[in-house]
A and B are shown apart, each in its own frame.
Chain A
């Protein structure tokens, strides 16, 4: 678990740096939490299965496949767009085509820096697919990332990192859900005897 935490730390650290550079202001991050959690508890991490979130989803391909989500509240996403992209931000709850594409590009930059640092560290190839964006109930979105685990049991391994800007503001969360088969890859790449908890 400590190894996975370190892996999350390195990935998220780089993503936080990237975000901080994009926003031109300091972004902190919380120490990543690595947990084996029941499916339902994973949605609780972002306010419950029914809570509306915006998610940029990537399938991670390569030697340690998995699912990667960058999750924002809709308000945080609007703020991020407002600061970052010189596009008119629509006032209503929805997102315009332009906003979608900007969000997915931001997600892409962050996921890229997250994964490339993991790949450097583990010497395993990991690359994100093109991003897919959705805003909907957290449960509906995250369940998609749990399908691979669904075949194995009712818990999934989650590496969860929160970004913090200023005092309380949460800019976003990174969820990495490595496929069950990927643990062995990650552990052996790092020279750690494989143990599943």
Chain B
């Protein structure tokens, strides 16, 4: 490679942004959801690695906004607006929300993946951000990468190989 592309890595329950060129990535999504917001004109992208559907259940002292779908999406949205993004242009893509283990008669914790996905969708709806693509559910892990030049979301999984959204 002639030019090294910058890569921003986002860990579990974290979020990050990238501008102009390069990739923003999060690895090993299971029941967590990797939610991306993208402004195609500024080539500005944000990614949150959401772990739990709702901050209602939070018992932590200082709330980690990136961890909960209902707080991460508004926080990421605000951050991108502050960086100059236009609310009208922002679009979303997401992946993850799997059920890694199949149990007979699963309780609520078992369904955390699908609940994360539902909660993300509800938040996007609330903010009026269109969801352009999703690769969610199943019982396998995913690594995702958003190219902030093109807005293409690359999804890698052991079972399915590489997919583009």
| B31/A143 in contact, CB under 8 A | yes
Name the distance in Å between B101's Cβ and chain A's nearest Cβ.
4
* Residues from chain A with Cβ under 8 Å of B158 in the complex: 52, 135-137
Contact B109 A147 (CB under 8 A): yes
The A contact surface, by secondary structure, is mixed
Q: Could you tell me the distance between the alpha carbons of A50 and B155 in the complex, rounded to whole angstroms? A: 13
Give B13-48 interface residues, CB cut-off 8 Å to A: 13, 27-32
Asked if B109 and A140 sit within 8 Å, CB to CB, the answer is no
> Does the CB pair B13–A39 fall under 8 Å?
yes
Known interface pairs A147-B112, A151-B52, A151-B59. Does A136 touch B101 (Cβ–Cβ under 8 Å)?
no
Question: Shortest beta-carbon distance, A102 to chain B, in Å?
Answer: 18
Known contacts being A39-B13, A57-B101, A134-B101, is A139 close to B51, with CB within 8 Å? no
Query: Which residue in chain B gives the minimum CB-CB distance to A50?
Result: B27
Query: What B residues does A136 contact at CB under 8 A?
Result: 30, 100, 140-141, 158
Most buried by B among A49, A142, A143: A143
Known contacts A132-B102, A136-B141; A147 and B31 CB within 8 A of each other = yes
Total residues of chain A contacting the partner, CB 8 A: 31
* B103, A151: Cβ atoms closer than 8 Å: no
Bound-state CA distance A130–B106 (Å) is: 12
- Selected from B29, B52, B141, B143, the residue in CB contact (under 8 A) with A150 is B52
Q: Which residues of A contact B (CB under 8 A)?
A: 38-40, 43, 48-50, 52, 57, 129-130, 132, 134-144, 146-148, 150-154
- Give residues in B with beta carbon < 8 Å to A: 11-13, 27-32, 51-52, 57-61, 64, 67, 98, 100-104, 109, 112, 139-143, 158
A-B residue pairs in contact (CB < 8 Å), sample of 11? A39-B12, A39-B13, A48-B27, A49-B28, A49-B143, A134-B101, A137-B141, A140-B30, A143-B51, A144-B112, A150-B52
